[in-house]
Amino acid sequence: MSLHGKRKEIYKYEAPWTVYAMNWSVRPDKRFRLALGSFVEEYNNKVQLVGLEEESSEFVCRNTFDHPYPTTKIMWIPDTKGVYPDLLATSGDYLRIWRVNDTETRLECLLNNNKNSDFCAPLTSFDWNEVDPNLLGTSSIDTTCTIWGLETGQVLGRINLVSGHVKTQLIAHDKEVYDIAFSRAGGGRDMFASVGADGSVRMFDLRHLEHSTIIYEDPQHHPLLRLCWNKQDPNYLATMAMDGMEVVILDVRVPCTPVARLNNHRACVNGIAWAPHSSCHICTAVADDHQALIWDIQQMPRAIEDPILAYTAEGEINNVQWASTQPDWIAICYNNCLEILRV
């Protein structure tokens, strides 16, 4: 789909509810498709799949389905070649895998790692491994991370069934775990990091789970909410603290000492997204400021004073996502709106 003829720089979609979780589809045949999760403070929530219509250059809702509780995160399967089934995962009370068809979205499997009880510890986040899409990792308020194996099983009739099993579960932090992300280092399958309420960033290797490495600890022990690996250079990652007005950039080769702090924010940071195509650009989203900022961190470890680009939205930005297969587009959501911006 070529939108370049139209030269529109911003496309906007208004959902019927506050948008919190949001993710770009990476399939080559579904370029301007995103999934949006509602944030309604009750049991009944929704997920919408929206796409940009080439003719009208408007976003249209292709599909809406029910979801228990708000989704803490949504991700499309990281399948850039389109060889796997068209799957979507959501986290909330459990990890759910959904199959997307043209007309409907169907729940394929619900993954619960508490086999011995009906009790579930809510999932704060998850990540889907890009190198091996049969691996997912979840983070939970019960201090654990769980690595799941997916099977997209035999084709029965026209349908391949999807199921999942626990590969490993580990106590990752002393308190709640708020985010998890696989690293591209060492082959991209075995290493992941997590952040949590204890204020630490920890790194794990699935081949050596008997120990973990502390990459960083917040000096005031403030909870760390988000963690984001640089997409081009696996040595770098970014994190942010609860109610923090800065983003800390870390180099795993130099633990515990940030290589940069992006602290020219006038309000607390709500989201982080690295550029998919460049190791030195990162976007941060600020809540009360309504701003999405793009920074060039090339001159690290010299201080980085100002962003190179700023966009002001009409509300507090809840989430920012840089499209991995279309690096000139960034999506933000605020209030009940999704906007995609050409950068």
Three-state secondary structure readout of 256-310:
CCCCEEECCCCCCEEEEEECCCCCCEEEEEECCCCEEEEEECCCCCCCCCCCCEE
Name the residue among 206, 219, 341 with its Cα closest to residue 273: 341
HSE value, Cβ hemisphere, 13 Å, CA-based, for 186:
12
Residue with tokens 């309504």: 290
Name the residue among 287, 243, 271, 277 with its Cα closest to residue 125: 271
Q: What digits encode the pLDDT tens for the residues 92-113?
A: 999 999 999 888 899 999 998 7
Q: How many residues does the chain have?
A: 343
Q: Which pLDDT band, with edges at 50, 70 and 90, does 5 fall under?
A: very low
Q: What digits encode the pLDDT tens for the residues 159-203?
A: 667 888 999 999 999 999 999 999 999 888 999 999 999 999 999
Residue with tokens 């389109």: 82
What fold does the segment set 10-272 form as a domain?
Answer: Methylamine Dehydrogenase; Chain H (2.130.10)
Q: Is the pLDDT score of 91 beyond 80?
A: yes
Q: What pTM was computed for the model?
A: 0.93
What residues does each domain of the chain span?
10-272
- Eight-state DSSP code of residue 118: S
CB-based burial of residue 102 (10 Å sphere; 0-12 exposed, 13-18 middle, 19+ buried)?
exposed
